[in-house]
Amino acid sequence: MITSLFYYNRKGKRVDVQVTSHALRRFSERYERIAKPCDDTPEEALRALFQASVPLQLCAKANYKYHRRNRRHGKHTLYFRSGDITFVVRDQTIITVEISAKGMRHLN
């Protein structure tokens, strides 16, 4: 199990995050499709990318599609983006990992 994944909420409190086995499996599949295979384990690569990610509402790419998706799935779902990868977090758990790069979404 991956440990030490966290983000800071709007109030500045640290929120620890768990990872589902589905999310880890999808991350390893999709990361290999868009990046060169690295020497790190999938857990280490996921940890590094998640810690470098930015909440999508703070990102410049938070457009109408983000707001429509947010209305559809509720306020309890957060999206974090790091480069070409988007992490979907619901109830303090990463439930899936998506490729969000333009022209590469068909690899999901």
* Domains parsed from the chain with CATH numbers: 6-101 (3.30.2310)
Mean pLDDT of 90-104: 84
User: Where does the pLDDT of residue 98 fall: very low under 50, low under 70, confident under 90, or very high at 90 and above?
Assistant: confident
Say if residue 67's pLDDT is above 80: no
Average pLDDT rounded to a whole number, residues 70-79: 77
Report which DSSP code applies to 37: -
CA proximity to 80, closest of 108, 102, 49, 105:
49
Cross-strand pairs, 14: 8
Specify the pTM.
Answer: 0.81
CA distances from 41 to 2, 24, 28, 58 (A): 11, 11, 9, 29
Whether residue 16 contacts residue 93, with contact meaning beta carbons closer than 8 Å, is answered with no
- For residue range 31-46, what is the model confidence (pLDDT) as tens digits? 888 876 767 788 888 9
The whole-number pLDDT of residue 34 equals 80
Give the type of residue at 104.
M
Say how far apart CA 4 and CA 87 lie, in whole Å: 16
pLDDT digits (tens, 9 = 90+) for 14-23: 999 999 999 9
pLDDT exceeding 70 applies to what percent of the chain? Answer: 80
Measured CA to CA, the distance from residue 94 to residue 24 in angstroms comes to: 9
Q: Strand 85-90 relative to strand 77-82: parallel, antiparallel, unpaired?
A: antiparallel
Give me the chain's average pLDDT, please. Answer: 82
